[in-house]
Structure 1
Amino acid sequence: MSVQGADDKVGKKLPHRPSRRHEIVGAAIRVFAAKSFSDASIQDVADEADVVPSAVYYHFAGKDELFELAMRRVLDMVNEVVAEVRAQEDSSEVPSLEPVILAVWTWVEKHPDESRLLHYHLPGATADASALRREFEEEHVQRAFDYLPPGPVPATKRAAATAHASHTLSTRTLIELLMTIHALRIGEGPLSRHASKSLSRAVVAVGDRIIVG
C-alpha cells in the first residue's frame, strides 16, 4: 500500500455505526408480546434483533430494563396518538371523547405486537412497569377532565371535592374498561368475533355515559 493510500485512510473517519438500541428495543417488544415476561430471555431478544447476547448487554442492564423501555415506547406511542387528536380539536368547543377512543382503537389494530405487550403484560410484570402504568393512568385521568360539559359550579368545597372524586373514579373505570376490551379483542379473544366498527361505536357510547352521563 502506498504512503498516500495509508494517509488517506488515516485522514478519513470510518463510517459511524449507529446504535442498535432502537432496533433491540423493537425486537424486545416483539419478543415480550409473544411470550410472558418470565418466559422471554435475553437470548430470545438477541435472536430477534439478529445480534449476539453480549450486544444486548452492551446497551442494557438486563431483561427488566429492556421490558421497561419496551413498555415506555409503547405508552409513548399511545400518548402521541392522543396528542395528535387533541391538537386537532376546536378550542372553542368542549372536546369530544369519541375521536380519541376511535384513534386509539385504530392504533391497536395497526400495531398488534405493541398492543399485545400493552394489554397483556402491563400490570405488575416489574416494579418499573407498574410505575409506568400509574404515570400513564394519572396523565389520562387529568386529560379526561377536559371532556366534562360545562355545568354549575359546586356550592361548597365539599360538593366540589365530591364531584372531583366522582369524575376521577369514572375516568379510572373507563381506562380499565378500555384496557380490558382491547385485551379481549386481540388475537382470538372472545371479542375478536365482533365487527370492529360496531364494537368501537358501542365503546364510544359507553365511554360517553361513564364520563359525561
Structure 2
Amino acid sequence: MMATTNGKQPAHGKQPAHRPSRRQHIIDAAVRVFGRNGFAETSVQDIADEAQVVPTAVYYHFAGKEELLELAMRRVFDQLNTVVETARPDTEPGDAEGLMRVIDAVWDWVEKNPDEARLYQVQIASANGNIKLMRDEFEQRHIQRAYDYLPESTTRSPRAAKARHASQALAVRTLISTTILVTALRAEGGPLSRLPSRSVQKAVRSLALRIVAADQQAESAATSA
C-alpha cells in the first residue's frame, strides 16, 4: 500500500485521483495555467503539476486539456454573468446608476479574481470552436443588456431609424469593448498596471457616462430633425 502523510496525501506529494472535490481543484489549476501560458503552450502535465496530482488523475476526471479549457472558460463567463446581473437585474431599469453598479461590480471581480480575469484576457481574442460559441453567446447577452442604458429610439423615418440603430450599436460596443480593453491594460505588466486602480476606475465610469450622454444627444437631434 502507498505510504501517506496524515492519512490524506501520498508521500510523494501528489493528490489522489478519485476524490469528487479533486475535479474542482484541477479546474482551479487549469484556470491559473491557461491564464499564464495560453492554451497552445499548456500541457496536461503542466496542469497536473499545478494541481499537485499525477496526469492520470487529470484524465480520470477529464478527456484532456480541451475539455478543461472549456470548463475553465465556462466558469469565467458564468461568474461574470452572475456579477453583472446581480449588480443590475433584468427587472431593473438600465439607468446611469445601474450602469455604474455594473462597472464597479466587474471592476471588483477583476481585482478579486485575477486568475480568471487573466484567462479571459488571454483566450477571448483567439477563441474558436466551443469557446467561440460561448464567447459569442456571452457577448450577445451583454450587448442586448447594454441597449437598456440608451434612450429608446422614436425616429420614424426608415432612413433615420437605420442611422440611429447604427449609432446605438456603436455606442453599445464601445461601452463593452472599453471595459474589456481597460481590463487587459490593467493586467500585470500592462501600461495601466502601475496607475492607481481607483483612478482608472473613475476614468472608466466617466467615459461610460459620456458615451451614454452622447447617444442621448444623438437621439434628441434625430427626434427634432
Question: Which bracket does the TM-score occupy, shorter chain normalised?
Answer: 0.7 to 0.9
Q: Distance in 2 between matches of 1:92 and 1:132?
A: 24
Q: Deviations over 1:159-194 (max 9, x none)?
A: 334323321222122222221111111112110121
Aligned to 1:55: 57
Residue of 109, 115, 135 corresponding to 1:113 = 115
Show the counterpart of 2:172: 171
CA distance in 2, matches of 1:68, 1:169: 30
Relative to 1, partners in 2 of residues 1:142 and 1:91: Cα closer, same or farther, differing over 3 Å?
Answer: closer
Alignment partners' CA distance in 2, 1:158 and 1:95: 32
Aligned 1:130-149 pairs, distance under 5 A: 130-149=132-151
**In percent, how many aligned pairs have the same letter?**
50
Aligned partner of 1:11 in structure 2 is none
More divergent stretch after superposition (60-69 vs 159-168): 159-168
**Residues 41, 63 of structure 1: 8 Å contact kept:** yes
Structure 1 residue 184 corresponds to structure 2 residue 169 = no
Q: 2:74 aligns with which of 65, 72, 75?
A: 72
- 1:85–1:100: 8 Å Cα contact kept in structure 2? yes
Tell me which residue corresponds to 1:205: 206
Aligned to 1:194: 195
**One-letter code aligned to 1:199:** V
* Structure 1 residue 71 displacement after superposition: 0.9
Amino acid at match of 1:173: T
* Residues 111-120 or 155-164, more deviating: 155-164
- Does the CA-based 8 Å contact 1:71-1:122 persist in structure 2? no
Contact in 2 for aligned 1:81/1:104 (Cα 8 Å): yes
Relative contact order higher in (CA < 8 Å, ≥ 6 apart): 1
> SS state of the match for residue 135, structure 2?
helix
Q: Call closer, same or farther: CA 1:166–1:206 in 2, change over 3 Å.
A: same
AA matched with 1:99: R
Unmatched tracts of structure 1, length 5 or more? 1-15
In 1, distance between residues paired with 2:46 and 2:75?
19
Contact 1:42 1:56 in 2 (8 A): yes
How far apart are the structure 1 equivalents of 2:153 and 2:177? 28
TM-score between both structures, scaled by the size of structure 2: 0.78
The whole-number CA distance in structure 2 between the counterparts of 1:116 and 1:85 is 22
CA distance 1:30–1:161, shift in 2 (3 Å): same
- Measure, in 2, the Cα distance between the counterparts of 1:132 and 1:93: 27
> 1:27–1:45: 8 Å Cα contact kept in structure 2?
yes
On the 8 A contact 2:93/2:148 being kept in 1, the answer is no
Partner residue, 2:44: 42
Q: CA deviation at 1:111?
A: 1.0
Partner amino acid for 1:39?
E
**Measured at CA, do residues 63 and 126 of structure 1 come closer, stay the same or move farther in structure 2, by a change above 3 Å?**
farther
- Pair 1:33-2:35 in alignment: yes
Q: Tell me the distance in 2 between the aligned counterparts of 1:92 and 1:25.
A: 35
Distance 2:25 2:150 in 1: 41
1:131 and 1:147, CA in 2 relative to 1: closer, same or farther beyond 3 A? same
The answer for unaligned runs of 5 or more in structure 2 is 1-17, 215-225
